[in-house]
Amino acid sequence: MNRYRLAAVGSAILATTACTSGTPAASGQDGLVPITDDTTGRAHVPVGFGTLRQDEIAIRLELQGLIVRAIPLDENLIRLLTPDSYRALRELQESNKQSIAAVTRRTGGRAPDVWYVSFYGVEPDVHFSPMELVITSAGRDFRALEVLPLSSGFGEQRRRQRETQSAIYLFDESIDLDQPLTVTFQSVRNDSWDQILTRVERERALVRARASRPPQ
């Protein structure tokens, strides 16, 4: 998939961020085959019943002239999103599956944790280094094993005002999304993941309740 197609996918993801919650689609109506090769036992939430917006699971950092958003693309997490957001994020992973598989082979068969990270320029000509993103989990700091740009110009490491650049970040699989974690970019930290987890667990229970209702 060329960079223009990847940019289009990234734009679709940004567009779905602003979507409000609607009536959940029935499971299986989103045209995607749910992931079945789950090795962690966590992907038990049915597809198509989520109502969360991307902003509700995004870790946001505000720097001078720049806003950074990081979203873990864990299957059991993104199934809690609205169907449109779930589709967009799944397509993003599918379009990069060869690059993700290459990292998996490089790390001895351990599939990496996949994150979607975007950088939005609040001020003109903001310079930054994408590799300064660090996730701290269980007392350990994680830096990206690989960064897969989704938008043209990502490697320039600068953002124009009101311009968004995005990429897929691949981390070591040891990041524990079920526990509090901290995301740091340059000198700015965000440790609100434990609050997001409360929202996630509540939505997970609601999704299972919706899925258990008999069809109307």
Contacts of 86 (CB under 8 A, 6+ apart): 30, 32, 47, 48, 50, 78, 79
pLDDT of 19? 40
Strand-pairing partners, residue 167, are: 117, 149
Q: Per-residue confidence at 5, pLDDT binned at 50, 70, 90? A: very low
The pLDDT value recorded for residue 22 is 39
- Using an 8 Å Cβ cutoff, are 135 and 171 in contact? yes
Determine the pLDDT at residue 149: 93
Q: What is the mean pLDDT of the chain?
A: 82
Q: What are phi and psi of 175, to 5 degrees?
A: -65, 125
What is the per-residue pLDDT for 129? Answer: 87
Q: What is the pLDDT of residues 48-70, one digit of tens each?
A: 999 999 999 999 999 999 999 99
Residue of 29 and 87 predicted with greater confidence:
87
* Residue 154 φ/ψ, nearest 5 degrees: -60, -40
Residue 199 in this model has a pLDDT that exceeds 50: yes
Q: What is the DSSP string of the chain?
A: --HHHHHHHHHHHHHHHTPPP-PPPPTTTTS-PPP---SSS---SPTT---B-GGGT-EEEEETTEEEEEEE--HHHHTTB-HHHHHHHHHHHHHTHHHHHHHHHHTTS-PPEEEEEEEEESSSSEE--GGGEEEEETTEEEE-SEEEE-STTGGG-EE-TT-EEEEEEEE-TT--TTS-EEEEETTEEE-THHHHHHHHHHHHHHHHHHHHSPP-
Is the distance from CB of 185 to CB of 69 less than 8 angstroms? no
Rounded Cα distance between 39 and 47, Å, is 18
- Of the pLDDT bands very low, low, confident and very high (cuts 50, 70, 90), residue 119 is very high
In this predicted model, what pLDDT tens digit does every residue of 136-184 receive, in sequence order?
999 999 999 999 999 887 877 666 677 888 999 999 989 999 999 999 9
What is the structure's pLDDT at 13?
Answer: 54
Segment 69-96 mean pLDDT: 96
By CB atoms closer than 10 A (0-12, 13-18, 19+), residue 72 is buried
Q: Which of 25-39, 120-134, 188-202 has the lowest mean pLDDT?
A: 25-39
> Across the beta sheet with 133-137, what order do the strands follow?
140-143, 133-137, 181-185, 188-190
